[in-house]
Structure 1
Amino acid sequence: MPDTARKRGRPTEGERAQRRDDILDAAVRLFLDLGFEAVTLDAIAAAARVTKRTIYSYIGDRTEVFLAAVERLGETALLDLSPEDGLEERASTIVRTLHADDAVGLHRLVIAESRRRPDLAERFYARGPRRYITALAERLPGRDEARAEALFALLLGEAHRRRLLGLQAAPDEVESIAHARAALASLHLATHVRATREPST
């Protein structure tokens, strides 16, 4: 049922958030099934049971819808972390999020489109990987961006390459934690991880 037939009146904040999620859920399914270029706003509107005007109002054009889906992955992952969560929690959350099916599928699409649409690749990096690197740097002494980038690379690593190639299944929670710990140990960050967990006296 299109949104013209939904309840009359201004939607509540919760209803707006749900409708935006519905649009992004529908868009991700279409992008992963059909590829970026084959998906139109008309198709997204039909799948989400809204109008094109609603999509423009809530998010924007097709590119903005794609980038909003990328951004939502990070928001969902990092929102679940508390200010007290340390580096290991952030690292394992990033592994679990970016090795998951939807994230891998969106990453493949950007790689496929990057030659034609370098602007899309640049904005994908800003709204995706760069945000995760910043989140890691916040838990490193001196907010060390260079070390955060090195850690982020290890959190993807060969396992992520195999995911992109369809050669490996997504990791479960235990595997994500093990991957994160191995990456931290490679950069000799395990001591810092333990320090962030120890209560102050």
Structure 2
Amino acid sequence: MTHLEATGRRKRGRPTQEERERRRDQILDAAVSLFVAKGFGQTSIDELAAAARVTKRTIYTYFGDKAEVFTAAVERFRVSALAQLTAEDESLTDVATRLVLVLHSDEAVGLHRLMIAEAPQFPRLAERFYASGPLGYIELLSSLLDAEGAPPDAAADGRAEALFGLLLGEPHRRRLLGLAPAPTPAEARRHARAALRLVVGEGDGAG
């Protein structure tokens, strides 16, 4: 066997980091589609493997079990969202506007509906969903409120939680019920500014 043949075999047997990340995303994309369409409890690992075009062993190797797949999907969404929220924004209003767009997006609403439906049977999964999603956004808002000059105890007095709740609001309830489409950027900004006026006062963080 030549060195080239040996090297070629090693490459085929050991996927690159890029290939592993692509395969991981492939599994997560399939999982979100199946979970939203069928429910977490009704989706089997066999179905997930078939939809993702991988083996069950691959899923177990990458994630461990089905609950870890769901948690990874939520975490991937959160990391992507936080990157969008903190990459280029210069004001609290900018961040709040992007957060409205993220929270009211089709993917976020689908995951939220799924978790509401599954929480009674999978309470630990619900806890992890909250820790990986809403809690992270509240912590981000708390840090930004501090940066905008809010009192140091902004998190303690519930200001960040109140703002997060307002950024969801009745529009998010309508989204969950399928009664309204995702907001446009202009609608999201109006929503964000109205929420900020209630929490930090007229003009604060207007940007």
Indicate the residue corresponding to 1:67 in structure 2.
Answer: 71
Q: How much identity, in percent, do the aligned residues show?
A: 56
Change (3 A) 1:189 1:87: farther
Q: Deviations over 1:138-176 (max 9, x none)?
A: 111237222110000000000111111111111122221
Q: Deviations over 1:99-118 (max 9, x none)?
A: 11121111111111212221
Change (3 A) 1:143 1:174: farther
* 1:124 is the counterpart of 2:134: no
Distance in 2 between residues matched to 1:189 and 1:45, nearest whole Å: 51
* Aligned-pair CA distance for 1:10: 2.2
Q: Deviations over 1:60-84 (max 9, x none)?
A: 2111111111111111111122276
TM-score normalized by the length of structure 2: 0.84
3-state SS of 2:183 partner = coil
Contact map agreement 2:36 2:111 (CA 8 A) in 1: yes
* Aligned-pair CA distance for 1:89: 2.3
Distance in 2 between residues matched to 1:16 and 1:187, nearest whole Å: 44
Indicate the residue corresponding to 2:60 in structure 1.
Answer: 56
Letter in 2 for 1:156: L
Distance in 1 between residues matched to 2:119 and 2:47, nearest whole Å: 23
Indicate the residue corresponding to 1:20 in structure 2.
Answer: 24
TM-score normalized by the length of structure 1: 0.86
3-state SS of 1:26 partner = helix
Indicate the residue corresponding to 1:4 in structure 2.
Answer: none
Contact map agreement 2:196 2:204 (CA 8 A) in 1: no
Structure 1 stretches lacking a partner, 5+ long: 1-6
Structure 2 stretches lacking a partner, 5+ long: 1-10, 147-151
Contact map agreement 1:78 1:90 (CA 8 A) in 2: no
Indicate the residue corresponding to 1:137 in structure 2.
Answer: 142
Indicate the residue corresponding to 1:91 in structure 2.
Answer: 96
* 1:105 is the counterpart of 2:110: yes
Distance in 2 between residues matched to 1:92 and 1:143, nearest whole Å: 24
Indicate the residue corresponding to 2:166 in structure 1.
Answer: 154
* 1:38 is the counterpart of 2:42: yes
Contact map agreement 2:138 2:161 (CA 8 A) in 1: yes
* 1:181 is the counterpart of 2:185: no
